[in-house]
Each structure stands twice: as C-alpha cells, then as structure tokens.
Copies of this chain bind each other. A is one copy, B any other.
Amino acid sequence: MSNSASPSLISYQAATEAFRSGTDTPREFLERAIDRLEAFEPTLRAFAQLSLPRARIAADAATARWRDGRPLSRIDGMPVGIKDVIETFDMPTGMGSPTHDGYRPLRDAASVYALRDAGAAVLGKTKTTEFAGGYPTDTRNPHDPQRTAGGSSAGSASAVGAGILPVALGTQVIGSVLRPAGFCGAFGYKPTYGAINRGGSHDFQSHSCIGVIAASLADLWCTTYDMVQRCGGDPGEPGLIGAEQLAGPFKPKRLIHLETPGWQLATVEARQQLETRLAALSAAGVEIVTRRSDPAVDALETSLNDILQFGYDIIGYESRWPLKSVAYRDRMGVSPGVLAQITKSDALGLEGYRALLARRVALRAEFEQLAATADAFITLDALGAAPKGITYTGNASFNVAASVLGTPALTLPVFADEGMPLGLQLISGQHTDHKLFAIARWVLTAD
C-alpha cells in the first residue's frame, strides 16, 4: 500500500451504532470499502472476483433495515470477502488453480449462505494459494507490498489488513488463517473443529476448519456466532459453543507459554517481544507456566516436536483423492509441489493413515488434560515478520498445533518485527472459544 505505511483496520461492529442513529449507513460503509478497494487492489491483488452490484443491493437492503431498527443480524449489510475455495453461486470458485478457471458451483457454501441470510454484502472472492496449499498466489502484504500476505487465506488477510474489508472468511488446516492474519496486522480466529459448517467449502481434511479474519474481536465473534446460528457447524458437530454477546475482558489466573517447534526458529525480536509480554503479564499477577516450570508442559512440547510434519502427513493422505483426480484431468495445471506430495502420500496406505489418526486422538487427550489446568496457552503467531517476496508464504510451526488438536486459536496484532505486524497467539481447549475471546479482550486491554 504505497500511500500508507500503516493501514488501519476498519471494524463493522464499531459502526453499527451509527447505522441505528442514522449518522452512517451500510451503503456508505460499503462505498468507503470500495473506495479503498479501488485505491489499494492494484497493488495488493487480494481479490479473485468481485460482485459489486450484488454487494450494493445487499447494503441498500440492510440500510433500510437498520434505519427501521430491524436489522437481520449484527452483520446486516457488512461487506465481506470469501476465500476462493468456498463456493458462491454468483461468482466462480477458482481454488487458486488454473485447473478450476471459471468453475461455477450452482449454490453458496453453507458459510456464504449464512452470511447472506444474515444480510451481509459479499463483495468478492479473495485469492488463495493453489487448493489452499503451499503454492503461492500473487497477493501482497498491505504493510509492505514487497512481502507475502502469508497463506493460504492470502487475499482475505490482505483485504482486512488493508482496511478494505472488516471481515473475510478463510480456512485453516495447518496455519492458513492465523498466519496470514498475523502477517497482515489483522485479527484471526480459527474456531474449535467443526464450529462453522464447511459444506461447499473445499477444505475437506479431517482437521480443517473455516476461520475468520477481521478488524476486531467483536467483528470475529459477532460474525462467527451470527453465521453459525444460520448454518450450524459441520454435520454431526454441535457448532460454535458460547453466548451471543462477546464476553467482557477476563483476567486469566494461569497461562501456559506453549513454545511449539516454532520457538527455536523464531527471530530474536519476536521472542523478545513475547518474553517482555510474559513478564508484564506475570507482573500483573498472571501465573505463567512453561516447560521449565511444569513437566506436563514439557511432555506436551515433546509430543509436539514433529507436529508440522505430522499435520502434513495426515492431510497429505486425505488430499490424494482430489489432487490426483484433478491431475488426471489436467496434468499441466497442477504445481510440481502438489505432484510430489501425491507421490509421497501414496506410500502411506490406509493402515499408516489409521496409525496417524490414533496418534492424533492421543495428542488431543494429552492437550485437553493440560488445557484444563490453565486458562489458555500463549505463544507467537509466526516466526517473525512476513517473508520478503511472494514465492514463500511463511512457516506454520506456531499455527499447526491448534489445527491438528482441533482447538480454538486467536491471533492479536500487538507485536512487530522488522517494522511489520506480528501476532500474539492464544489457544485453549475445544469448545472454550467464548472464554478465549474474553481472555483476549483482557490481554488487549492490558496492552
């Protein structure tokens, strides 16, 4: 973003009071978003498709409802971006792959259906890496267009970080929501596994999850809650657990510093900022537990030693089917990395896959047991600033644990590295999402 070294996050929830009072309208909010889109998109390349006429119709309808005091939801009229692996009936779903150019499903995904049912104005599809994997898109970081926005939810993070959108959907199976959100200075939320219905989203792997990138905790919570009331969670799952209202700040008694394999790889600046923060929390009366003070934490850290490879092994096996099917149809449209992954995963076999699942069950039990002894886990969101260039979306060592464990995770844009945003990550036990937000609010208040 050439005109602004530090773009601002634009919250929708902060504007709704003005919609009620009539000093602002969803349509005006949308037009400001479109103004920023026109200014920044040529640099950022965050969008794969735009749907401005439909977005304006939705915003106009919402404007009338807010004026009449009868909004459909807290996100009525909200401009929102949809990661381009999630189906939309009015725009192609390109999957970040030339094999799916112009692919046109005939319905909205469950999450998109829910957003529209709540009145949201779907502005466009946001760019993704190839099939939400490692092969990058050309999206730029709003804090430095010479750097990656991260991946795979690159366009969603860039658009929110740039202040174009208040909210955008992503998906995370390794680190695809939290890492790009942190790199772009946005708030990121990966809920408990299954909390948001994945129907019609091409993130089918067994620990994948739809997540949200937004301008504030209120935007994250209100969007997720109001969606799930309409589309539910994954079939057979209870969906997002927690109260409708974002909880007030909650001061934790006990936080576990979870190093993860990322800690050994993180930059000095990144580590120092977390350590300073931990010291401040400690000074504020929060007990900070580490692998040095608690053998159970040390045991979990040891169990997580190869968690990144472990996560890739599971989704590699699960991804053979769609990737091989696409490669049979269009061999020249699939990246070499994907072809190499298929070959590797073919060797595992069904028995090998079952062994991975059994290990994941054990890992989750170990984590939940420890999670019950504290209020939350605290760590970094990334090794440091977003890498320079756009050919590498960054290391996911800090993000993969919450994905594999199926637990909620939040990234808060409170740190910096090389003058770029860097996230503080909070993680907690399955279905404690609402409390995790309360702790995050307190951490921000204490910032």
Residue A251 at the B interface, CB < 8 A? no
Q: Taking the complex as formed, is A200 at the interface, i.e. its CB lies under 8 A from any CB of chain B?
A: yes
The answer to whether A322 and B232 have CB atoms under 8 Å apart is: no
Residue of B at shortest CB range from A317?
B232
Q: Among B117, B199, B322, which residue has its beta carbon within 8 angstroms of that of A322? A: B199
Taking a contact as CB atoms under 8 Å apart, the answer to whether B329 and A107 are in contact is yes
Which B-chain residue is minimally distant from A330 (CB atoms)?
B106
Is residue A39 contacting chain B, with contact meaning CB distance below 8 A?
A: no
Q: Complex: how many Å from CA A55 to CA B50? A: 41
Identify A321's interface contact among B103, B199, B353, CB under 8 A. Answer: B199
Q: Give chain A interface residues in 309-347, CB to chain B under 8 Å.
A: 317-318, 321-322, 324-326, 328-329
Contacts of A206 in B (CB 8 A): 235-236
Judge whether B100 and A324 touch: CB under 8 Å.
Answer: no
CB < 8 Å: which of B113, B318, B353 contacts A325?
B113
A70, CB-defined interface residue at 8 Å: no
Decide yes or no whether A283 CB sits under 8 A from chain B: no
Task: Give the contacts of A276-325 with B (CB-CB under 8 A).
Answer: 317-318, 321-322, 324-325
The reply to whether the CB of A204 lies closer than 8 angstroms to some CB of chain B is yes
Chain B nearest CB from A39 CB (Å) reads 33
Given contacts A204-B199, A228-B350, A350-B229, contact A107 B325 (CB under 8 A): yes
The reply to whether A325 and B89 form a contact with Cβ atoms under 8 Å apart is yes
When each residue 342-385 of chain A gets 1 if its CB lies under 8 Å from chain B and 0 otherwise, what string results?
A: 00000000100110010000000000000000000000000000
State how many angstroms separate the Cβ of A231 from the closest Cβ of chain B: 5
Query: Would you give the shortest CB distance from A426 to chain B, in whole angstroms?
Result: 25
* A321:B106 contact, CB within 8 angstroms: no
| Bound CA–CA A236/B206 (angstroms) | 5
With A and B bound together, what is the CA distance between A271 and B114 in angstroms? Answer: 47
Docked CA distance A325–B229 (Å):
16
The CB with the most chain B CB atoms within 10 A, among A204, A318, A325, is that of A325
Instruction: List residues of chain B with CB within 8 A of the CB of A324.
Output: 113, 117
Q: Which residues of B contact A353 (CB under 8 A)?
A: 232, 239
Asked if A248 is an interface residue, CB under 8 A from chain B, the answer is: no
**Cα–Cα distance between A231 and B110 once the two chains are bound (Å):** 25
A16-59 contacts to B, CB under 8 A, are none
Name the distance in Å between A314's Cβ and chain B's nearest Cβ.
9
Is A130 part of the binding interface, using a Cβ–Cβ cutoff of 8 Å?
no
> A354–B238 Cα gap in the complex (Å)?
6
Q: Does A391 contact B (CB under 8 A)?
A: no
Task: Report if A146 contacts B (CB, 8 A).
Answer: no
Contact among B108, B117, B318, B329 for A232, CB-based, below 8 A: B318
B329 lies within 8 A of A106 (CB): yes
Instruction: Choose one: B199, B322, B354; the contact of A200 (CB below 8 Å).
Output: B322
> What's the minimum C-beta distance from A230 to chain B, rounded to whole angstroms?
8
From A114, which residue of chain B is reached at the shortest CB distance?
B321
Q: A235-B205, A350-B229 are in contact. Are A325 and B100 (CB under 8 A)?
A: no
Q: Which of A206, A229, A318 has the most CB of B within 10 A?
A: A318
0/1 string, A87-118, CB within 8 A of B gives 1: 00100000000011001001110100110110
Q: How far is the CA of A34 from the CA of B46 in the complex (A)?
A: 51
Q: With the chains together, A322 CA to B107 CA distance in Å?
A: 7
CA distance A106 to B197 in the complex (A): 23
Given known A107-B326, A350-B232, contact A321–B197 (CB-CB < 8 A):
yes
The 5 A-B pairs with the shortest beta carbon distances in the complex, nearest first, are A206-B236, A206-B235, A107-B325, A110-B321, A113-B325
A113-B325, A232-B317 are known; give 13 further A-B pairs, CB within 8 A. A89-B329, A99-B106, A103-B106, A110-B321, A113-B321, A116-B328, A197-B321, A204-B235, A206-B236, A207-B236, A231-B321, A235-B318, A239-B354
